[in-house]
Structure 1
């Protein structure tokens, strides 16, 4: 690679094209025309002597070398941001955490411990049922239901999660169905007929809210259901929904002081569930 021929501004444009997945979307964020971006990406590939993209009609797909460059530049971008952030703003570094609805709820209840006393970390909770991209720093720490396979990620096993049906003593014998792509929602869809459903909701948290209002039966993690004094188990643990839980981060981010502190605190909070 001839570094003298690299226009370093092209690396910024590369980040935009790589993250947006194509020229048209990247053009909006960079204020450059798609034609200009296409030409600059060809020039970058020629200067670096690497094929960075597979070009499709529907967009730009990263090659393995393109993905490696994106990872490297993302880390550099993160480090530059840390070095150039004014001291007054960097006193509490921001750490983004992604987890499903129920784990996020438990983390929020432990906010004081996670943030530190006095607070030394600014936390951003990203509650999502889908897996967000840690390699490209969509989030810094993710709580996942499966052990990651990416070489760039490291993980720690947390407490095992189990599910059971919960309701109040006066609730009718009908389930609350969650319209979401989660194992527990699919279990209700596959095992409870429409005649056994009292209503449908589009977020898992609403099933807990309805159960607390004595409207029906909610299928909940035991660490959530057992913590509600108004609710009781109305059935056995659903063994097929039991799974391990993993705390995941990038292998380079784990050495950041704030990430190391937060990993320890999250582990303490979730291991007690």
Structure 2
């Protein structure tokens, strides 16, 4: 390949498509049309004589050669930005984290420990019970209730999560039912049925109601035990016990800012150790 054939702006656009996981999302960040980005990616592949993407209806997935190029370009980009930035212009890198209601709540209480002192990363928490797509870069780090199975994912095993019923002393012996697509909500549905004090669609509301003395909430023990006003009203529900995993992309985990975030998140959750593919 002749360097004169390479359009260096295509490499910048390649990074956007690779990080955003597709043309539509990259079009917003680059202010180019999806059609233009598609043509530029084809042109880049022809110039490099490499297949960089596997194209699906749901987005663009990097090939092995595409991942290698992304890692190399990300390192170059970081060096250029550091050389070009003055101290007051340096922007902290953004790390997007997805977790369920309860893990998000626990992490927010330790925010300073994760962002650093002084802060050297920015965090965007996306609290969602559904699993967001890490290969398509919907998030950089995700918390899961099972070991990652995707070939491009790396996971670190954290704590075991257990659930138990909690209430304040003297509260009515009636369940607060959560309507959500989670194992704990499905257990409540099977166990309580329609015989509940009330129903809420946000898991966090069940904690608020339990603290207000309105009834019994099914909570993770790492949340319930941390509330001095609450007491366990029964044993842990064994069928809901599971390991928690921190998951990220194989490529992203080597970026310095992601590495820092992972190490700090694991310290907060008391489980050190290297990620395993």
- Secondary structure at 2:248's aligned position in 1? strand
Q: Judging changes above 3 Å, is the alpha-carbon distance between structure 1 residues 179 and 14 closer, same or farther for their aligned structure 2 residues?
A: farther
- 1:159, distance to aligned residue in structure 2 (A): 1.5
Mark the runs of 5 or more structure 1 residues left unpaired by the alignment: none
| Matching residue of 1:107 | 107
Task: Say whether the 8 Å CA contact 1:161–1:244 is kept in structure 2.
Answer: yes
- 1:31, distance to aligned residue in structure 2 (A): 5.2
Q: Kindly provide the CA deviation profile for residues 195-245 of structure 1, in whole angstroms up to 9, marking residues without a partner as x.
A: x12222222111101111122221100111111122111222111110011
- Secondary structure at 2:70's aligned position in 1? helix
Task: Say whether the 8 Å CA contact 2:59–2:136 is kept in structure 1.
Answer: no
| Matching residue of 2:214 | 215
Q: Judging changes above 3 Å, is the alpha-carbon distance between structure 1 residues 229 and 71 closer, same or farther for their aligned structure 2 residues?
A: farther
Task: Say whether the 8 Å CA contact 1:145–1:245 is kept in structure 2.
Answer: yes
- Greater shift after overlay, 132-141 or 218-227? 132-141
| Matching residue of 1:174 | 174
Q: Kindly provide the CA deviation profile for residues 10-59 of structure 1, in whole angstroms up to 9, marking residues without a partner as x.
A: 45556666747566x7666655556555555554554455664557xxx5
Q: Kindly provide the CA deviation profile for residues 112-154 of structure 1, in whole angstroms up to 9, marking residues without a partner as x.
A: 33333x3243341412223333344443333221111233333
- 1:9, distance to aligned residue in structure 2 (A): 4.0
RMSD value, Cα: 3.5
Residue pairs, 1:139-178, within 5 angstroms: 139-178=139-178
State TM-score, norm by structure 1: 0.76
State TM-score, norm by structure 2: 0.75
Residue of 80, 83, 90 corresponding to 1:83: 80
Task: Say whether the 8 Å CA contact 1:177–1:189 is kept in structure 2.
Answer: yes
Q: Kindly provide the CA deviation profile for residues 83-118 of structure 1, in whole angstroms up to 9, marking residues without a partner as x.
A: 3162334475443333221112112222233333x3
| Matching residue of 1:247 | 246
In the alignment, the residues of structure 1 paired with residue 253 and residue 26 of structure 2 have an alpha-carbon distance, to the nearest angstrom, of 30
Q: Judging changes above 3 Å, is the alpha-carbon distance between structure 1 residues 189 and 78 closer, same or farther for their aligned structure 2 residues?
A: farther
